[in-house]
A and B are shown apart, each in its own frame.
Chain A
Amino acid sequence: MWTLLRIELFKIFRRPRTYIPFGAIAAMILIIQLGLKFDGRSYLELMMSSLSDSFFIPYNMIMNGYLVAFVILNTLLIQVPLLVALVAGDIIAGEANMGTLRLLVIRPVSRTRLLLVKFFASVVYTVALLVWMAVLSLFLSMLLFGTNDMMIARNTVMEQIRSSDVLWRYIAAFGYATVALSTVAALAFLLSVFADNSIGPIVSTISIVIVLTILSEMRIPLYDNTVKPWLFTSHMLAWKGFFYSQSDGQGAAIPGSVENLPAILRSLGILLLYIFGFVTAAIVSFKKKDILS
């Protein structure tokens, strides 16, 4: 299994296009960091406009590495699924397109094992992408902007997290994001089984993610409590839940707490179910598939 995984990883990381998402992420992060470095105050003034009448806002202290990383993740975790789909959507369909899929399945390795290895290779790629993102968005921002307490603007609440209470939340959030992006990888992987050309599964995955993300953000009575809770895109934002603290009776944030951990774990469970469902469906379909390419 390990040898097969190494072969798959070699195939992924040998292709130049694998590195396009790494380059794209680096470019986007650097642009956002540059923008916030020179005009971060305008961004904060917008976010805190209703507070500035009642409070003195220390903008220079609020614009720190932790906040910058949060802003970047907020922006990029919507686009990164599309980058994950580039590799995961290609992993089977790309072989079919090149005519190597038939050669692959005649080897003495079961189709289930082959597919599992290919999926794990996609997950490893996703993790590599996230580590790259973490290094640039978090550690580079900490270096460029310094650290301080983190202020998070929510819909109706402004949260403050002590600087000593932030890093573990990022680790948890990146861990969660790995599962969230693996769900997208699993979807692209499933679609990849049905195609002989990688463009189809990549574009389909991107389209599905975009449409479902829009649906997840819409507020429609009845739909809100019936369909929305079961869309996987509704749960992809749960990484943010790690940055929401519980409050005591007087409204003060409790350091080290998470506002609604059961809800995050439920979201995590739903995403894991989706991954299991997508991968199982891919294996079942692939086992029945008559491979002609």
Chain B
Amino acid sequence: MKYLLLFFLVVAKSPAWAQSPDALLQKVRARLDQINDYQATGTMKTNVPFLKVPEAQVTVYFKRPDRLKIRNDKGISLVPRGAVTISLNNLLRGDYTVLDAGKDTAGGQTVKVVKLLPKDDNADLVLSTLYIDEPRLLILKARTTTRENGTYEVEMSYGKYIANALPDRVVFSFNTKNYKLPKGITFDYDDGSAKNPPAGGAKGSVEIRYSSYIINKGVPDSVFQ
């Protein structure tokens, strides 16, 4: 009897007892599918070695199936290519082969790692790695490799809108190329101070902190044009 009890305890704790990556992904997807559209306001901070831009007030619009727009009504915001994946709904669209890649840590906690391989050979997406908080069915981190735009990473923190699986904070990281213009074109003022040119090919990131969401209240198509 003692051994039987021990056996059940071990089995209950074992990964084999945990849900399959496919089932987990379906549950996460079902949760995200409750969102048809949203309009979120927040601040966007760009951290790219060769860009010096002020923090911007932005509105992020999303509409199913895959439309996303980041708009700065009071000025200009340079939006990184691939930023469409800050909306996880976009990331999970399509047919994938889902692979279990074990456990890892993200956002300071242990998470389930799931890899997505698109079934369509011509898809832009090559590989997606999702770091999923299993008990809460939340994606905390996603790393995506595409044919066109290289590899980028999205990290999410949840707070007020956790019930809708919408993050309070998103950090989108991406690779950048060198930026350099000849001095003969820019005619820069040389103030005599020692300059440390930004490292070429460095990583850049954009952080959006959301202050509010308007969920499933409709977003006009004209916003995305």
Chain A interface (Cβ < 8 Å from any Cβ of B): 47, 50-51, 53-58, 61-62, 74, 78, 148-149, 151, 153-163, 165, 217, 219, 229, 234, 237-241, 244-245, 247, 250-255, 259-260, 263-264, 267
For the complex, what is the distance from the CA of A237 to the CA of B78, rounded to whole Å? 28
In the complex, per-residue mask of B46-81: 1 if CB is within 8 Å of any chain A CB, else 0: 111111111100000000000000000011101111
Q: Are A50 and B180 in contact (CB under 8 A)?
A: yes
B218 within 8 A of A: no
| A148/B177 contact (C-beta < 8 A), A157-B52, A240-B189 known | no
Q: Are A251 and B52 in contact (CB under 8 A)?
A: yes
For the complex, what is the distance from the CA of A241 to the CA of B193, rounded to whole Å? 12
- Partner pick for B49 among A74, A163, A251, CB 8 A cutoff: A251
Q: Are B177 and A50 in contact (CB under 8 A)?
A: yes
Q: How many residues of B contact A (CB 8 A)?
A: 42
Q: Are B181 and A56 in contact (CB under 8 A)?
A: no
| A260/B193 contact (C-beta < 8 A), A50-B180, A54-B81, A253-B54 known | yes
User: What are 13 residue pairs bridging A and B, where the CB atoms are less than 8 Å apart in the complex?
Assistant: A47-B181, A54-B48, A55-B79, A58-B78, A78-B187, A151-B76, A155-B182, A155-B183, A156-B180, A156-B181, A156-B195, A247-B52, A267-B191
Interface positions, chain B 142-179, Cβ under 8 Å from A, are 174-179
Q: Are A55 and B81 in contact (CB under 8 A)?
A: yes
Look across to chain B and name the residue whose beta carbon is closest to the beta carbon of A51. B179
- Partner pick for B177 among A53, A57, A74, A162, CB 8 A cutoff: A53
For the complex formed, measure the closest distance between the CB of A176 and the CB atoms of chain B, giving whole angstroms: 10
Q: Are A56 and B79 in contact (CB under 8 A)?
A: yes
For the complex, what is the distance from the CA of A247 to the CA of B51, rounded to whole Å? 10
Q: Are B52 and A50 in contact (CB under 8 A)?
A: no
Q: Are A250 and B45 in contact (CB under 8 A)?
A: yes
Q: Are A155 and B78 in contact (CB under 8 A)?
A: no
For the complex formed, measure the closest distance between the CB of B3 and the CB atoms of chain A, giving whole angstroms: 58
Q: Are A155 and B181 in contact (CB under 8 A)?
A: yes
Q: Are B52 and A162 in contact (CB under 8 A)?
A: no
For the complex, what is the distance from the CA of A3 to the CA of B188, rounded to whole Å? 42
**B191 contacts across to A, CB distance below 8 A:** 238, 241, 259-260, 263-264, 267
Q: Are A162 and B75 in contact (CB under 8 A)?
A: yes
For the complex formed, measure the closest distance between the CB of B60 and the CB atoms of chain A, giving whole angstroms: 14
**B187 contacts across to A, CB distance below 8 A:** 74, 78, 217, 237, 240
B186 within 8 A of A: yes
**A74 contacts across to B, CB distance below 8 A:** 187
Q: Are A162 and B79 in contact (CB under 8 A)?
A: no
| A217/B50 contact (C-beta < 8 A), A55-B80, A57-B78, A237-B189 known | no
B192 within 8 A of A: yes
**A51 contacts across to B, CB distance below 8 A:** 78, 179
**B48 contacts across to A, CB distance below 8 A:** 54, 251
For the complex, what is the distance from the CA of A165 to the CA of B52, rounded to whole Å? 14
- Partner pick for B193 among A61, A162, A263, CB 8 A cutoff: A263
B197 within 8 A of A: yes
For the complex, what is the distance from the CA of A234 to the CA of B197, rounded to whole Å? 21
For the complex, what is the distance from the CA of A153 to the CA of B179, rounded to whole Å? 10
Look across to chain B and name the residue whose beta carbon is closest to the beta carbon of A238. B189
- Partner pick for B192 among A54, A55, A229, CB 8 A cutoff: A229
